[in-house]
A and B are shown apart, each in its own frame.
Chain A
Amino acid sequence: MTTEEPLLDIRNLQTHLVLEEGTAKVVDGVSISLHKGKTLALVGESGCGKTMTAYSVLRLVPSPPGRIAGGSILFEGRDLLALPEKKMQDIRGNKIAMVFQEPLTSLNPVFKVGDQVAEVLRVHRRMNKKQALQRTVELLNDVGIPSPEKRVNDYPHQMSGGMRQRVMIAMALACEPRLIIADEPTTALDVTVQAQIMDLFQHLQEKQHMALLLITHDLGVVAEAADTVAVMYAGRIMEYTDVRTIFKTPLNPYTKGLLGSLPHFGSDRLQPILGVVPSVLDFPKGCTFSNRCEHVMDTCLHNEPELKNVNGGAHMVRCWLY
């Protein structure tokens, strides 16, 4: 890791959902940091809090029932959680952009895609209609849409899933953001299109030195794209280190379980994690993974382990075994 100040530094983030049945701590004490030009992958199964962490960064957590209850999110040294909403609007889509999972539902079906990309430029860059459209054509060209001067007049339904995701990325890139948050950007896409999109991200990162916060459940994508990886479970970070270490010497039993669940060739059976992810309102006492863990000990049932450094610093793990 570099000694340079991180671009994004999330410290002890607490995001809660206040529901009738009680308060669900969907993000509980998450601390991660991301440097310029790097990629951090947030990995975990559905309901682990990875999307809520991303929404918290942009302060897009729906409220009610959502509430950011504590912690700080430093972006270029400023705490986003302390900014007034007006200032936050300047950052959203401008310095930090987001790419969502489902490109069909995140584009407005009644506007042409060109106008939707141009809108970002008109709002943040105060361009006039003509300039904005011209820049849009360039952007669509950058993300690999053929004959962009014609495609700007398409409506979202006239495009394929891969093309729509490219439009979303063009929109995210419009203001040359410092950070892109991509929430499962390729999950809805076919594998050959996924390869094209991940290739595009990599290309753009090299060119523009953007940082990428990549949220995904696909460990293959993580292995190929990420520099550092944070494995989340039940709102907490279970393991946090560089990508090679995660795959080579995973320590937390949950990380090991995730890797063991991957179908790999040459084995007759998979070694899945037993049981299911607990509901957000019903996390077990002690370690949140204790009810599914093979190595569970008495202390795991009563005391929650801290996320601590092992192997001399760069490898963080939350487990009583270490």
Chain B
Amino acid sequence: MSTQDLLRVENLVKTFPVSSGFFSRSVARLTAVNDVSFTLQKGETLGLVGESGCGKSTIARLVLRLDEPDSGTVHYNNDNIFSLKGSDKKGFRRKVQIVFQDPFSSLNPRKRVGSIIGEPLLIHKSLPRKDIPDRVLELMDMVGLRKDHYNRYPHEFSSGQRQRIGIARALSLEPELIIADEPVSALDVSIQAQTLNLLLDLQKEMNLTYLFISHDLSVVRFISSRVAVMYLGKIVELASTPDLYAHPLHPYTEALLSAVPVPDPTRENRRILLEGDLPTPVALPKGCVFAGRCPIVDKTICFTKQPPLEEKRRGHFAACFLRNGNN
């Protein structure tokens, strides 16, 4: 891999204990992230899509070092983030920030907007205390909040404005990488569009790198340069956005894309309906994670061996035995 990579995730595995019974004994392990590898180049946007429970948000937590993985590594600028200590660790925390999905629960209701946005600056002592208010006002201006919002409380704002506060807070330390975990999912469509435009503008201005997590395939298509599709803790396909949407290789990606309702009533709908529900991540299938619901499954191989994520054609990775790059 090149030294240009801002973020390099290798063979990441994270399991959680599943407890039940009177003493909450741990009875099994749930595999949330199952051998995931990807890289992020500076200035790009990698979209991470998948349905609920596929492990998207766990990856966000691991990359931020809010959780420790069972195995695997995350390198940021060639440093393993899980072995960083002291000021290096603090430096990493400054450079990588998160924007959360829910603009209601991610802001402290008892603090004023000015101190919410200024708090990271205070903690990291990156500015003298007296300069903080000016910087906060500058940040508020960048995300489209008015000066007189400075002394207001979060409940006085609409959800779109609250998401702007969350974005301003994430930007306060001039980060390089922003992990956006479903940042527009809770917003109405007109506000969603405003927020997406804002994220694009900020990326250009500040040369930001985004890891953009979402279940909404049209939003991901709009904002990402590359897209990784996850299913049951695994990346099943990873490619550049135009290539993935126009020529998906993995049967799960095909089904997922065909399920998205298109706002065009004249379009004939050719939908691949998947049978059944997502299997539970507690007892993972032995072979391919998607084999149980796959429309093209080959019983001789798919249930016994796990397909590796391979480069099927230039820059287009997929984990499927039955598909080659010519699909």
Contacts and interface: CB of A to CB of B under 8 A. Distances in A.
Interface of A: 45-46, 146, 160-163, 190-196, 198-199, 217-224, 226, 243-244, 247-248, 257-265, 267-274, 276-277
The bracket for how many chain B residues form the interface is 35 or more
Contact of A273 (B190, B218, B277, B278): B190
Which of A45, A195, A217 has the most CB atoms of chain B within a 10 A radius of its CB? A195
A220 B261 contact: yes
Interface of B: 51-52, 158, 160-161, 188-194, 196-197, 200, 215, 217-219, 221-223, 245, 255-256, 258-267, 269, 271, 273-274, 276-278
A193 B218 contact: no
A190 B215 contact: yes
Nearest to A267: B222
Nearest to B276: A146
Main secondary structure of the interface of A (DSSP, over half): helix
Given A196-B273, A262-B189, A160 B278 contact: yes
Contact of B222 (A45, A247, A263): A263
A163 to B, nearest CB: 7
Given A194-B259, A272-B194, A224 B265 contact: yes
A161 B52 CA distance: 10
Contact of B261 (A161, A218, A260, A270): A218
A45 B190 contact: yes
25 contacts: A45-B190, A160-B277, A163-B277, A192-B273, A195-B258, A198-B261, A219-B189, A220-B261, A221-B261, A223-B261, A223-B263, A224-B261, A244-B266, A247-B264, A247-B265, A261-B189, A261-B190, A262-B218, A263-B196, A263-B223, A265-B245, A272-B191, A272-B192, A272-B194, A273-B190
Contacts of B260: 191, 220
Nearest to B218: A263
* Minimum-distance CB pairs A-B, first 10: A220-B261, A272-B193, A263-B222, A261-B193, A190-B51, A195-B259, A270-B193, A45-B188, A273-B190, A219-B263
A268 to B, nearest CB: 8
